[in-house]
Amino acid sequence: MTDLRRMLGIEHPIVLAPFGGLSSVPLTAQVSGAGGLGSYGLYGYDGERIRDTATALRAATSAPFALNIWLPTGDEVTPGVEHDEYAVALESFFAEVGIETPSRPERYLPSLDEQLEAIWAAAPAVLSVVFGVPSAALVDEAHRRGIRVLGTATTVAEAQALEAGGVDAIVATGSEAAGHRVSFLRPAEQSLVGLVALLPQVADAVAVPVIAAGGIGDRRGVAAAFALGASGVQVGTSFLATAESAANDAHRAAIRSTAADESVLTRAMSGRLSRGARNRVVSEIEAAGAIAPFPAQNWLTGRFRAIAGQRGMGELQSLWLGQSAPLARWDAASDVFAELRAGLPA
């Protein structure tokens, strides 16, 4: 099997998870500069913002980094007459942060073509994708430009589909992981496989390198992942708790105070199933039972979540975290990286 480090041009097979809305240039550059693969999530970024982000990353590090995008699944809604109904269901939260209920936008998300055009110009070492198998045209263009492609699987069948689609490596993400469940062959609720069960089965089923994600928070998780067949690890929550991430103090406090059995899977904040801490906004939206489909719900809650984040109002934020949250003990990304590196095979 191809060595993951050689494939990605990195020294240590440690990958920073990409965070939709919470990635930061300092954290990405820190992980890449330490010899791992820093990743930056581009969810919702238009072409101009992608180009600006890539410029900032290149100014911060000369090491390889990954850019991450969400593939369209085909069931995304576009702004329509239902928008006002969706918005009214959340109007108390807009009022709480002092803004008007938002009117219908021209679009909820930039197009994939717009994002890819900017990514090709940015020429990252790696392009990682979630929510599907990249098209043959996308993979071929990436390879033509010398860009490696990582896909993300939550089941064995998804891993096999990604391998057939030509990706260079697969991130096997267990149900313990923070944030969105990126399942694409079956509903997310039917694809909740823990990493200990998922990882060895994926490693047995595909020939490309497998990167383990979900529930890995320290050297013990790294060692276990390699024992189960991983070629690398991807870690999110422990890095999200550090000073270099874009998380605020309320989010970091939630990470350090949420037990493994207290995190929840919810569609409340985005319309898609995601793992995070239960706070007031999650509970109230779930109780109301009026959750717009993706990406309408994500766009709408994003209007008050952004302001809540600026003000440290944790009860109105998306507090994404995984079941390894209690293991997030370090304040500096360099310390997290050193801890994870200690678990790598000799």
Residue range 262-272, pLDDT digits in tens: 999 999 999 99
Of 324, 248, 301, 338, residue with least CA distance to 31: 338
pLDDT at 1 over 60: no
Q: For the sheet containing 210-213, what is the strand order? A: 14-16, 232-235, 210-213, 169-173, 148-153, 126-130, 65-70, 38-41
Average pLDDT, the chain: 97
pLDDT band at 341 (very low <50, low <70, confident <90, very high): very high
pLDDT band at 49 (very low <50, low <70, confident <90, very high): very high
With tokens 């809540």, the residue in question is: 308
Q: Alpha-carbon distance 237 to 240, whole Å? A: 5
pLDDT at 78 over 60: yes
* Span 207-233, average pLDDT: 98
| Positions of E strands within the chain | 14-16, 38-41, 65-70, 126-130, 148-153, 169-173, 179-180, 210-213, 232-235, 264-266, 274-276
Of 63, 34, 126, residue with least CA distance to 342: 34
Question: Exposed, middle or buried by CB within 10 Å (0-12, 13-18, 19+), for 49?
Answer: middle
- Each residue of 85-143: pLDDT tens digit? 999 999 999 999 999 999 999 999 999 999 999 999 999 999 999 999 999 999 999 99
| pTM score | 0.97
Q: Which CATH number fits domain 4-75+109-256+325-341: 3.30.70.1250, 3.20.20.70, 2.30.30.40, 3.20.20.140?
A: 3.20.20.70
Q: Alpha-carbon distance 174 to 193, whole Å? A: 6
Q: Which amino acid is at 309?
A: G
With tokens 């992942």, the residue in question is: 225
Label residue 103 left, alpha or beta by phi (over 0 means left) and psi (-120 to 50 means alpha): beta
- Each residue of 277-322: pLDDT tens digit? 999 999 999 999 889 999 999 999 999 999 999 999 999 999 999 9
In this prediction, residue 346 carries a pLDDT of 85
Both tokens of residue 2? Answer: 């191809």
Percent of the chain with pLDDT over 70: 100
Label the pairing between strands 232-235 and 210-213.
parallel
Is-contact 178 275, C-beta < 8 A?
yes
pLDDT band at 257 (very low <50, low <70, confident <90, very high): very high
- Each residue of 15-37: pLDDT tens digit? 999 998 899 999 999 999 999 99
In this prediction, residue 150 carries a pLDDT of 98
Label residue 271 left, alpha or beta by phi (over 0 means left) and psi (-120 to 50 means alpha): left
Write out 195-238 in H/E/C secondary structure. HHHHHHHHHHHCCCCEEEECCCCCHHHHHHHHHCCCCEEEECHH
With tokens 């990706």, the residue in question is: 167
- Each residue of 228-249: pLDDT tens digit? 999 999 999 999 999 999 999 9
Both tokens of residue 183? Answer: 């399942």
In this prediction, residue 72 carries a pLDDT of 97
Label the pairing between strands 274-276 and 232-235.
unpaired
Report DSSP letters for 250-277, one per residue. HHHHHHHH--TTT-EEESTTTSS-EEE-
* Span 68-82, average pLDDT: 96
pLDDT at 2 over 90: no
| Positions of E strands within 81-208 | 126-130, 148-153, 169-173, 179-180
H/E segment holding residue 340: helix 333-341
- Each residue of 155-175: pLDDT tens digit? 999 999 999 999 999 999 999
In this prediction, residue 161 carries a pLDDT of 98
With tokens 């890819």, the residue in question is: 116
